[in-house]
A and B are shown apart, each in its own frame.
Chain A
Amino acid sequence: MNSIIPTPIARQPWGVLIPLFLLVSFGAAVLYSAAGGSFQPFASSHLIRFAIFLIVAGLMALFPRDVAKFFAYPGYLAVLVLLMAVEAVGAMGGGSQRWLEVGPIRLQPSELMKPAVVLALAKFYSELPVGMVGTWRSLVPAGVIIALPVGLVLMQPDLGTSLAIIFGGVLVMFLAGLPMRWFMGGAAAGLVVIPLAYFFALKPYQQQRVTTFMDPESDPLGTGYHFSQSKIAIGSGGLTGKGFNEGSQSHLNYLPEPHTDFVFATMAEEWGLLGGIFVLVMFGLILAWGLRVARQARHRFDRLLGAGLVGTMFFYIAINLLMVMGLAPVVGIPLPFMSHGGSSMMTNMICLGGLLMINRWNRLRTGDGIA
């Protein structure tokens, strides 16, 4: 260990913290530009939220495994109750809504549900007797754990978050070692169900987003507008971009939501391909670190939880980037650590906090000398 740097600092997992700080700072710079060259209103609150949730993540990292396990089911149930409350408030208010007002804070329970489902499933599979993996007992309770929140979230309706919850949950099931043929069967069933869902379950505006994704030119001023303007922003950036604060697409409002869902396009316009590669590498470092933490974990609970949290973050990043580059429909998912918005910051920092926590558990074990 390098003696120049004090041990408490050197002990921190800098492999993830440095990319994270770089990414958040870069995000703040992009938001500064998106606000027309001003810290208000985006960049400053972005940094403040990050600071707050970094403390939250730091505290989470201190939880012992037993505490985490203990709170898995109650936490899941509590979030489920909040989701029902959202539905109830929405029904009373005569319209759909996604959040609860708690004083000055707008709480979006569906966001909390993403890590909560992963945590509950990790606990479920870690405690499921090994012999039952491959029986209906391993499938049905997990299915219920996933289906309940997904149903509630779909009623809001919020397709993007529902998919995120399903993705996180199914990923945990997959890694828990459930038979491969189930997933094959599920995928086959999905191929049948998805067209049906498109015609019967999606709202017209959601249907339109999908058709526009297939053929963006069909509606250049409507839904396709998002696509084409996002691609124009990224494409016009070239290799090195138009320069900080020089993006015309974002500054002249051609780019929709330049500070939330399309923050990557805002960035790419001003920083070009180099900025894009930088962001991709930083995300790659964070996710790779997270996956490494999960794979290094010795306990089944740790592994499943860690991998599920990494998967949840990955889903955000991948869907958002696929969307801004015109490879996925516009679903309204922000980019972690860069987009302005408290809910996404909270979810991703909770995921990160969980991974830090597992990382600490891993290190305790090495400290114990059980390597």
Chain B
Amino acid sequence: MPLGFPRMPVSTTLLQNRFNRRSFAIGSVGGGIGMLLAARMGYIAIAENEKYATESESNRVNLTLIPPRRGWILDRNGAPLASNRADFRVDIIPERMVEPEATLVRLGGLLDLDPNRLRDLQDEVAQSRGWAPIEVASGLDYEQFASVSLRLPDMPGVVPQRGFSRFYPTGPAVGHLLGYVGPASAEEYDEDRNPLLITPGYKIGKDGLEKQFEQNLRGKHGARRVEVTASGRIVRDLDTRPDVQGNPVKLTIDGPLQDYAARRIGLESGSVVVVDCDTGDLLCMASMPSFDPNSFSEGIGSVEYAMLREDERVPLRNKVLKGLYPPGSTIKPMHCMAFLQAGIDPNEKIICGGGRRIGNRFFNCWSNHGVVDMAKAIYQSCDSYFYHFSQQIGFGPIAQMAETTGLGQEFPLPVTSQFYGTVPNPTWKEKKYGEPWRSFDTVNSSIGQGYYLVNPLQLAVMSARLATGKNLMPRLRLDKNAPAPASLGFSPEHIEHVRQAMSDVVNGPGTAGRARLPLDDIKMAGKTGTAQVVSLSVSDGRSGPWKYRDHGLFVFFAPLDKPKYAGAVVIEHGGGSGAAYPIARDVMTFLFDPAKGLEALKTLEEQWGGTAQQRLSRKYAAYAAERGAQVEPAPRRDEDIFDRVDAEARLAAQQSEALAEEASTSRNESTRGPETDRGAQ
């Protein structure tokens, strides 16, 4: 059956004609397609040439930013407290990774990462925003670096590079002072869309002076243009613009002293501050135990964070600025200065009798001192004397003197924050608690208890101002041209009187005979203090659980006749001032005779099991081995860590305010107490 009816009979000629027609048509169509192709190519290659040439160039050329080297942080003699170390490092950029899990495991094998670090990295990759580089490891040796570089084609998203990493030669000794550096957080990048912030290896200051001096320390980035293949392999360098290193920052800190003091604190939890009495330069602001800023720069590991957080000696808290303590008897010389200013005759005597009746209550002294004048009240730390004369002149002038000498003050220092504590006075109490000031409050405050709260820096400043009579302002940045401090207007006799009494604390019949410097020609003067932490019903302050023991405090200056250095030592829960003044003695010894100071430290460190840095890394290893797999990850934002640490510091400070409503129990300031050698334990 035919499918259709042909309109004309099909013949050979017809087919031949059809072939000719149709083949011609097909040839034309083919030619047309050829023209179309030529036109299309002309359009792409000529009209759009510029666009595609640019795209080809941006394919071929990869611009990498070179993170600038940070400026060094130097001590007063130009020795580095924070420097940069050339090293090999490996970062990952999660969004470029194809198989993040497998790649990480592989990297872990190549770089010998411990399982905790690997787990942290996996968490970080899971939470990351993709474009932000994550540091896998730094400080690698060349073999490890090379082994990663070789396998790059199979591991997209992995960036090995040579660079510089921040190096703190003394580690934990400068942790709280300098802070640490770390990669910019997602929030910081959202604020400032600078591509430098997400360049692998670029770190910014996260805490302490590193953060405060960020603009100064940050240099100018360099850039490198390289030719890369589609898979990211670098074929050759095209050109390089070197980075410009950030400016150095020179501090007033004396590096060796800072390190010495930090190490000398030993197993205790405390702080040492030393001030230059001519300029107010802060020579030392040690707070221990601390963290190692070297290990924080890779990001705070969850195991390390858990270990530091669980430690009741709060290694994350900068105790110089954020440790608030009742000053205890350390303020007694300052109170005497207030008495002298108020016209009290220093030779006026009272009978101690083991305490004093004020109103209808009897307040204890820690001992029965018999006949007491001002000098004896200081060197024997007699409480009755202060109960008596503070009632006599009222607490107002005393509080004023406290503020004059620096207590309750916030100093203009380049620090992220400082707690300035409390100098109680009637107006303050009315405002804060809505209750009138009672004689009871004067009694407690007169011996540095009650609502009194100070930080170690304020104590050091107080000591320096008392010893010199000058309005010294503490400083951290070295400035040779700073104006000389003004006088506070104390009369020379009054200063001399207080100095002599403080000398007697150490060199005379006082409470800290063991604080005498082992030097022939230099005498140190000081004042002990013991601050009650919990109610007497909980603990006697000397024995029992560590956290219920009294704080040990000591303020000092030396040399006696012409004070050059002043300072304060506060040992948390040291069980009394006996924990504090041996440290002050050794720190001062080191300042005047480094060899002798180091000798003393060496013996002690042998007992403790190494330097602070060695003990910290050993502790970490033990902790990681025991608890490694169970810890919670560290907060993603460093700010969360800071907030938590600050909140806990405030809470700790409030603890002693709770005691203000009860009569303070006088603390044994005797050198013969059972705890006096604690510092050497």
A: which residues have CB within 8 A of B?
130-131, 133-136, 139, 171, 174-177, 179, 181, 228-229, 231-239, 248-249, 252-254, 268-269, 272-273, 276-277, 280, 283-284, 287-288, 291, 294-295, 300, 303-304, 307, 311, 314, 318, 321-322, 325, 327
Quick check: A177 and B45 within 8 Å, CB to CB? Answer: no
Residues of A within 8 A of B33 (CB): 318, 322
Quick check: A131 and B10 within 8 Å, CB to CB? Answer: yes
Quick check: B45 and A239 within 8 Å, CB to CB? Answer: yes
- A-B pairs, top 9 by smallest CB distance, nearest first, are A235-B52, A236-B56, A177-B18, A177-B15, A253-B230, A248-B60, A135-B2, A273-B45, A252-B229
Docked pose: A228 CA to B58 CA in angstroms = 13
Quick check: A248 and B59 within 8 Å, CB to CB? Answer: yes
Residues of B within 8 A of A135 (CB): 1-3
Which of A174, A235, A272, A325 has its CB near the most chain B CB atoms (within 10 A)?
A: A235
Instruction: Decide: A232 near B45, CB < 8 A? Known: A136-B2, A171-B26.
Output: no
Docked pose: A198 CA to B53 CA in angstroms = 35
Docked pose: A78 CA to B400 CA in angstroms = 114
Docked pose: A139 CA to B9 CA in angstroms = 18
Interface string of B31-58 (1 = CB under 8 A from A): 1011011101110111011011101110
Minimal Cβ-Cβ distance residue in A for B25: A174
Residues of A within 8 A of B227 (CB): 248, 252
- B392 adjacent to chain A (CB < 8 Å): no
Q: Pick 18 A–B contacts, CB within 8 A, sort by A.
A: A130-B11, A131-B9, A133-B10, A134-B10, A139-B3, A234-B52, A235-B45, A235-B49, A238-B49, A276-B45, A280-B34, A280-B41, A283-B34, A287-B30, A307-B26, A314-B30, A325-B37, A327-B40
Residues of B within 8 A of A314 (CB): 30
CB distance from A252 to the nearest CB of B (A): 4
Q: How large is the interface on B (under 10, 10 to 19, 20 to 34, 35 or more residues)?
A: 35 or more
**Residues 1-29 of B at the A interface (beta carbon under 8 Å):** 1-4, 6, 9-12, 14-16, 18-20, 22-24, 26-27
Quick check: A280 and B38 within 8 Å, CB to CB? Answer: yes
Instruction: Decide: A273 near B56, CB < 8 A? Known: A252-B228, A318-B33.
Output: no
8 extra interface residue pairs, beta carbon distance < 8 Å, beyond A295-B23, A307-B26, A325-B40: A131-B10, A135-B3, A177-B18, A232-B55, A269-B56, A291-B27, A325-B37, A327-B36
CB distance from A329 to the nearest CB of B (A): 16
Quick check: B45 and A300 within 8 Å, CB to CB? Answer: no
Residues of B within 8 A of A179 (CB): 4, 6
Quick check: A238 and B53 within 8 Å, CB to CB? Answer: yes
Instruction: Decide: A177 near B59, CB < 8 A? Known: A232-B52, A234-B41, A325-B41.
Output: no
Select A236's contact among B1, B3, B14, B53, beta carbons within 8 Å: B53
CB distance from A241 to the nearest CB of B (A): 9
Residues of B within 8 A of A300 (CB): 12, 15-16, 19
Docked pose: A351 CA to B34 CA in angstroms = 20
Docked pose: A135 CA to B23 CA in angstroms = 22
Residues of B within 8 A of A325 (CB): 37, 40-41, 44
Instruction: Decide: A237 near B14, CB < 8 A? Known: A253-B231, A325-B37.
Output: no
Quick check: B56 and A318 within 8 Å, CB to CB? Answer: no
Docked pose: A77 CA to B620 CA in angstroms = 79
CB distance from A201 to the nearest CB of B (A): 26
Residues of B within 8 A of A277 (CB): 38, 41
Docked pose: A239 CA to B227 CA in angstroms = 24
Quick check: B23 and A291 within 8 Å, CB to CB? Answer: yes
Quick check: A175 and B22 within 8 Å, CB to CB? Answer: yes
Quick check: B59 and A254 within 8 Å, CB to CB? Answer: yes
Residues of B within 8 A of A228 (CB): 55
Quick check: B38 and A177 within 8 Å, CB to CB? Answer: no
Which of B11, B31, B40 has its CB near the most chain A CB atoms (within 10 A)?
A: B40
Quick check: A176 and B55 within 8 Å, CB to CB? Answer: no
Quick check: A134 and B15 within 8 Å, CB to CB? Answer: no
Quick check: B44 and A322 within 8 Å, CB to CB? Answer: no
Residues of A within 8 A of B48 (CB): 235
**Residues 161-188 of B at the A interface (beta carbon under 8 Å):** none
Docked pose: A179 CA to B36 CA in angstroms = 29
Select B19's contact among A229, A234, A252, A303, beta carbons within 8 Å: A303
- B393 adjacent to chain A (CB < 8 Å): no
Select B14's contact among A177, A268, A322, beta carbons within 8 Å: A177
- B595 adjacent to chain A (CB < 8 Å): no
Quick check: A284 and B2 within 8 Å, CB to CB? Answer: no
Docked pose: A272 CA to B56 CA in angstroms = 14
- B235 adjacent to chain A (CB < 8 Å): yes
Quick check: A307 and B230 within 8 Å, CB to CB? Answer: no
CB distance from B1 to the nearest CB of A (A): 7
Select B46's contact among A134, A175, A273, A303, beta carbons within 8 Å: A273
Select A248's contact among B18, B26, B56, beta carbons within 8 Å: B56
CB distance from B68 to the nearest CB of A (A): 29
Residues of A within 8 A of B36 (CB): 327
Quick check: B229 and A134 within 8 Å, CB to CB? Answer: no
Quick check: A235 and B26 within 8 Å, CB to CB? Answer: no
Docked pose: A247 CA to B663 CA in angstroms = 89
Docked pose: A287 CA to B2 CA in angstroms = 36
Minimal Cβ-Cβ distance residue in B for A284: B34
Minimal Cβ-Cβ distance residue in B for A304: B19
Residues of B within 8 A of A303 (CB): 19, 23
Quick check: A133 and B30 within 8 Å, CB to CB? Answer: no
Quick check: B229 and A253 within 8 Å, CB to CB? Answer: yes
Docked pose: A199 CA to B49 CA in angstroms = 37
Residues of B within 8 A of A253 (CB): 229-231
Quick check: A254 and B30 within 8 Å, CB to CB? Answer: no
Quick check: A321 and B37 within 8 Å, CB to CB? Answer: yes
Which of A174, A236, A287, A327 has its CB near the most chain B CB atoms (within 10 A)?
A: A236
Select B37's contact among A248, A252, A311, A322, beta carbons within 8 Å: A322
CB distance from B5 to the nearest CB of A (A): 9
Residues of B within 8 A of A321 (CB): 37
Quick check: B23 and A235 within 8 Å, CB to CB? Answer: no
CB distance from A29 to the nearest CB of B (A): 19
Docked pose: A70 CA to B48 CA in angstroms = 54
Quick check: A252 and B2 within 8 Å, CB to CB? Answer: no
Residues of B within 8 A of A276 (CB): 38, 41, 45
Docked pose: A139 CA to B3 CA in angstroms = 9
Residues of A within 8 A of B14 (CB): 177
Interface string of B316-344 (1 = CB under 8 A from A): 00000000000000000000000000000
CB distance from B18 to the nearest CB of A (A): 4
Residues of A within 8 A of B12 (CB): 130, 300
Residues of B within 8 A of A311 (CB): 26
Quick check: B53 and A177 within 8 Å, CB to CB? Answer: no
Docked pose: A236 CA to B46 CA in angstroms = 9
CB distance from A311 to the nearest CB of B (A): 7
Docked pose: A248 CA to B44 CA in angstroms = 17
Residues of B within 8 A of A238 (CB): 45-46, 49, 53
Minimal Cβ-Cβ distance residue in B for A178: B18
Docked pose: A133 CA to B624 CA in angstroms = 89
Residues of B within 8 A of A252 (CB): 59-60, 227-230, 235
Interface string of B218-237 (1 = CB under 8 A from A): 00000000011111000100
Quick check: B52 and A231 within 8 Å, CB to CB? Answer: yes
CB distance from B228 to the nearest CB of A (A): 7
Residues of B within 8 A of A322 (CB): 33, 37
Docked pose: A268 CA to B37 CA in angstroms = 13
Quick check: B34 and A307 within 8 Å, CB to CB? Answer: no
Quick check: B27 and A288 within 8 Å, CB to CB? Answer: yes
Docked pose: A287 CA to B3 CA in angstroms = 35
Quick check: B27 and A174 within 8 Å, CB to CB? Answer: no
Quick check: B52 and A236 within 8 Å, CB to CB? Answer: yes
CB distance from A297 to the nearest CB of B (A): 10
Quick check: A272 and B59 within 8 Å, CB to CB? Answer: no
Select B45's contact among A175, A272, A327, beta carbons within 8 Å: A272
CB distance from B656 to the nearest CB of A (A): 62
CB distance from A154 to the nearest CB of B (A): 25
Quick check: B41 and A175 within 8 Å, CB to CB? Answer: no
Select B51's contact among A229, A235, A318, beta carbons within 8 Å: A235
Instruction: Decide: A268 near B3, CB < 8 A? Known: A235-B52, A284-B31.
Output: no
